[in-house]
Amino acid sequence: MSGLLQLVRRWRWQWLLWLLPLAFLLVFFFIPLASILRLGAQVFTDQAHLNLGRVWRPLAFTFGQATLSTLLTLLVGLPAAYLFARFRFPGRGLLNALVVLPFMLPTVVAAAGFNALLGPNGWLNLLLMKLFNLTQAPIHLLNTLGIILLAHVFYNTPVIIRVVGSAWAQLDTRVEQAARVLGASPWQTMRLVTLPLLRPAILAAAMLVFLFNFTSFGVVLLLGGPQYATLEVEIYMQAVQMLNLPMAGLLSGVQLLCTLGISILYSRAVGKQSIPLIPRLKGEGARQPHSGWERVFVAGMLTLLILLELLPLIALVLRSVMLMDASGHTVWTLSAYQELFINRRQSVFYVPPIQSGVNSLLYGLATVLMAVPLGTLTAMALRSRSQLARIMDPVLMLPLGASAVTLGLGFIAVFNRPPLDVRTFPLLIPIAHTLVALPFVVRTLQPALAGIPVSLRQAAAVLGASPFQVWRTVELPILARAAVVSAIFSFTLSLGEFGATSFLARPETPTLPVAISRFISLPGALNYGQALAMATLLMLVCALSILGIEQLSRFLNEGEKTNG
């Protein structure tokens, strides 16, 4: 009888853990998603909205640019992964940390960086105009397919470096050495041994990059323009500019099906059994370049990575403190930063750009306060290994399969009357950010929970502690560091979210990414300078967040070694 009572209590406790996450997903994800699919179905009943060209053209372009971007990213990323996995060189650790920054940056910051480097008033055009005494910019890369592909390579190369480079660094070098002993050349060893062994990691990284390129929004919108409309951009244009919500709903449904298919393929690629990997100490297996071609390779790849991954960011910072005076001369000044605080027209409708930063910080804090508790409850519920947990595990990942633009459109379609009204309820923005951050929080907390010895919980229970007391006195202190990492990650994701926020943010309450997008599109050197200044500040906050995560992870690893 007592065993039955314990089973009932355990079952009831698990359902209590699931109650809040399930209610959150139902109200703020599944209902908006169902509304979007219902809107898309209206296209087939109302022929006035039906235009299949509006579906096939962006769909074909989305697949085409995603494929090209992925291939180019692999072309750059695989040699870079080999560089970090096999060679030691001065500044290796610093560069390995810096190349992660582009992937963590908001897309509007990446777009602003390429604008500062390659735009009409970018550094490269200014340099060529000065050298050759030109009156117009000689390079016109903005609003072309080339700049979209280049920005995607910049954005996603860190994914290849981390995913493939990590597997490459742990590859058992004895396999390669055996091939060399049997007479294989370095190229034959690479082609016949190393690359086949790395195929699962390469396939997983390629699918992940393809998914990011497929759902790209800010890069395409800000750098490519409407003539290069992906599904995400076309959804935005149909909903915001043409007010054709049924067509936007149809496009959202098509995109959701595609992204879910890509996500399934990615899960299968990740699930494949990989190569004979062996645990290694940090830096083990890497060596100094010996031969001439190795030195050329290392120097060439370092130059390429600096030019591709760091130069746009450096150009962004420098361009934010540079203005052109009336005579066309360069003036170094902080006026763009000073203007962020000034309302020169004294308009009651004017929103100072710095206010967008305050809005972003507030939304980020609200996201943390929602995402971390929800993620903690969900991770604890998934620990049970019950049938419900096995069903809910993939369900929780569904927000990753829906684009942020689709999410924003669903919020507009559903939450259009009090008390949940996008015009009067500002918490809808951090709620949308929480949906994006929740899967990452769960995946961060799950390993930490799994690492807690069962004996600790059992000992506390034997001493009379209730399940809540066990969690508060035993599990929570152990989870604290992982929860801080989740909080920083959620905060960074919220700061940079642009797709859903572009739908939900009111003109009087913009976020930093929305404000940067607006100021870039406005004429005038001062508006352009303010956009770059805001992008620089946002990049600085993201860099500090990444540094905080790295330091906390290092502290966590050192603590584990000390305890061991």
For the chain, list the domains and their CATH numbers.
51-230+296-319 (1.10.3720.10), 336-403+429-564 (1.10.3720.10)
The residue ranking higher by pLDDT, 196 or 13, is 196
Q: Predicted confidence band at 4 (pLDDT cuts at 50, 70, 90)?
A: very low
CA gap 407, 503 in Å, rounded: 9
pTM higher than the cut 0.85: no
Beta bridge partners of 416: 421
Question: Over the stretch 436-459, which tens digit does the pLDDT of each residue have?
Answer: 888 888 877 877 777 677 777 777
Residue type, 285: G
Helix (H) or strand (E) holding 416: strand 416-417
* Calpha distance 23→26 (Å, rounded): 5
State which of 1-5, 150-154, 287-291, 462-466 shows the largest mean pLDDT: 150-154
More confident residue, 532 or 456: 532
On the 0-12 / 13-18 / 19+ scale of CB atoms within 10 A, 449 is: middle
Judged against a pLDDT cut of 90, whether residue 285 lies above it is answered with: no
Q: Whole-angstrom Cα distance, residue 293 to residue 106?
A: 37
> DSSP class of residue 132?
T
Non-local (6+) Cβ contacts of 29 within 8 A are 398, 399, 402, 407, 435
| Mean pLDDT for the stretch of residues 250-265 | 81
What is the distance between the alpha carbons of residues 412 and 38, in angstroms, rounded to a whole number?
14
**Residues 315/117, Cβ–Cβ less than 8 Å:** yes
- Average confidence (pLDDT) over 53-59: 83
**In which residue are the tokens 């584990």 written?**
560
Confidence class for position 3, pLDDT limits 50, 70, 90: very low
Angle between helices 195-214 and 145-169 (to 10 degrees): 140
362-370 mean pLDDT: 93
DSSP letter, residue 210: H
